[in-house]
Amino acid sequence: MIAKEIDRLMKLLAQLPGLGPRSGKRAALHLIKRKTTHLEPLIEALQTALKTVQPCTLCGNLDTQPVCILCSNPKRDPSLLCIIEDVEDLWAMERSGSFRGRYLVLGGVLSALDGVGPQDLNMGLLMQCLERGGVEEVIIALSATLEGQTTAHYVSDALRTFPVKVTRLAHGLPMGGDLDYLDGGTILAALEARQPLI
Amino acid sequence: MIEWQDEAIVLGYKSFGENKRIIFLLTNQYGRVNGLMREPKSSKLQGLAQMGNRVIATWKGRLEEHLGYLSLEVVESFTGRLMGSAAKLLALSSASLLTHSVFPERHPYPAVYEAFLLFLESLKGEKWPETYIHFEHKVLDEMGFGLKLDACCVSGETENLFYVSPKTGRAVSEKAASPYEERLLRLPAFLLDESLQAKDFEDLKNGFILMDHFFKHQMTASSYKKFTEARGQLLRALIKLEKGRNDFIKGTLLSLEEVKRGEVTEYTVEV
């Protein structure tokens, strides 16, 4: 009933994050009906992305150049290095607009259950980055989950031989957080990371 | 619709599709149970399914064999307490992986649940490595391969039990062990008496080696590989704690063979 080319397009679209079989079908029909305004520009954008987007050789960020726009920006502070799990986290950090240093995308976190070991992380890239010199502080910005913190400890251990200050993001009360709703662990973490007011 | 509620410990989770998670639990009455849960949108609920959380779980499903839906309410969260200790985080990870790997679903193991709770409580203090080994011992026992440590398998002696036979898993006294000590596994005293602490790191190491020998033979190869990798990292963290080492340790996994040969005591690893 449905041409196999359309069916293939629907199935491929349905595999995208956030889409299922129904939304895949809707998206396929939408594209087919608007060939010149949507389908052609989309094909062109996909082809360009396929040809040009690559991981940055210095930090693992995604860009069209071998050295990404963040690493090649001379205004960014090279003495600050922020270690993050994935490119999505890098975008989140950039969204805040408060960090002016450089990044390193670790590519995952250690997880015994998922079988992710140290060999699966971008540790080589991190070591190369530190061996090049110029880094004074490494900020470990990994999730406040068991896996994230296990990785944070692993990374901080790995950095012991380098003369750098190693810090991590604070844990505790979220903005707008109500103390009454927080679990004991979060309150404990917040208490331990308390800061003087005066 | 079938529905039940039970206290449980979260063993971990995996993302399922865009906005769901499959949660792995160890419940008190129903044993190991998996279930679907919607990804919490609120930041207040993000930490619900953190490994090691003590929760009240409500499972709902049309049929018993269905995956079913879970809703959780946290009773106590341990992750926040452990954030500062790599060894404790790795121990919790290792214990969760072991429980997840060796037990079938929907079979009650109240003794393992009890032992896991004891282990979690011990993480608040200092005697947790011994309790971790006791937990492994209990898991082995519940798997059906428990060690028989009450008397010497040769002489029937109940004193001076210093060894375990690697074949039978039974205790051997110091006198009966001679001259086969080399072939036997060392039995640390804290395994015979739960109130005792490990004398030294050597004692702890012997506990790890003893349990490892039996897990290696009783677990499936793939489960053992994952478990031994997680446990290797725990051992490495414990060795570092013990020795106060600052050397950079490369991300290769520490095998128990290395520990047995004593190679880890002096190693420095290059990048």
How far from the centroid of its chain's Cα atoms is residue B89's Cα? 12
Most A-contacting residue of B26, B54, B73, B79 (CB-CB within 10 A), to test interface: B79
Domain B2-77 class, CATH top level: mainly beta
- Measured between alpha carbons, how far is B216 from B213 in angstroms, rounded to an integer? 5
Find residue B85's DSSP bridge partners.
none
For residue B23, the chain A residue with the least C-alpha distance is: A113
- CA gap B223, B226 in Å, rounded: 5
- At residue A70, the pLDDT reads 94
pLDDT at B258: 52
The beta-carbon neighbor of B83 closest among A18, A149, A161 is A149
Determine, for residues B97 and A171 on separate chains, whether the beta-carbon distance falls below 8 Å. Answer: no
pLDDT in tens, B233-245: 898 888 877 765 3
Question: pLDDT of B96-107, one tens digit each?
Answer: 999 999 999 999
The number of residues making up chain A comes to 198
pLDDT reported for residue B253: 39
The domain A4-52 having CATH identifier 3.40.980.20: the answer here is no
B108 vs B79, higher pLDDT? B108
Cβ-proximal residues to B33 (8 Å cutoff; 6+ apart), any chain: B8, B25, B26, B27, B57, B59, B70, B105, B106
pLDDT at A45: 96
End-to-end CA distance of chain A: give it in Å, rounded.
74
Contacts of B73 in chain A (CB under 8 A): none
Q: For residue B42, how far is the Cα from the chain centroid?
A: 31
Place B41 in a pLDDT band, splitting at 50, 70 and 90. low
Question: Which of A24-28, A66-70, B41-45, B183-187 has the weakest average pLDDT?
Answer: B41-45
**Cβ-defined contact of B100 to A113 (cutoff 8 Å):** yes
* Mean pLDDT, rounded, for A34-39: 94
| Residues A41-70, mean pLDDT to the nearest whole number | 94
How high is the pLDDT of residue B244?
54
CATH topology classification for A62-168 = Dna Topoisomerase Vi A Subunit; Chain: A, domain 2 (3.40.1360)
Q: What does the pLDDT average to over B198-217?
A: 88
Interface residue ranges in chain B relative to chain A, Cβ cutoff 8 Å: 11-12, 14, 18, 24, 43-44, 47, 50-52, 74, 76-84, 86, 89-90, 92-94, 96-97, 100, 226-227, 229-230, 233, 237, 240, 246-249, 251-253, 271
- pLDDT bucket at B271, cuts 50 / 70 / 90: very low
User: What residue of B is the nearest CA neighbor of A128?
Assistant: B271
Closest Cα of chain B to A139: distance in Å? 16
Q: Which two tokens stand for residue A22?
A: 């129904």
Distances (CA, A) of B91 to A77, A127, A153, B96, B118: 38, 27, 13, 9, 13
Q: Where are the domains of chain A?
A: 4-52, 62-168
In the predicted model, is pLDDT for residue B249 greater than 70? no
Tell if the CB–CB gap between A146 and B82 is shorter than 8 Å.
Answer: yes
Fold of B86-149+187-231: de novo design (two linked rop proteins) (1.20.1440)
Q: Do B77 and A185 touch (CB under 8 A)?
A: yes
ipTM of this complex prediction, to 2 decimal places = 0.76
The overall average pLDDT reported for chain B is: 83
CB contact under 8 A, B249 and A158: yes
CA A59/CA A56 separation, integer angstroms: 6
Residue A114 has pLDDT above 60, yes or no: yes
pLDDT digits (tens, 9 = 90+) for B114-164: 999 999 999 988 889 999 999 999 999 999 888 888 888 888 888 888 999
DSSP code, position B160:
-
Which of B14, B88, B89 should one mutate to test binding to chain A, selecting the residue with the greatest count of A CBs within 10 A? B89
Residues of B in contact with A147 (CB under 8 A): 93
- Among chain B residues, the shortest Cα distance to A152 is held by B86
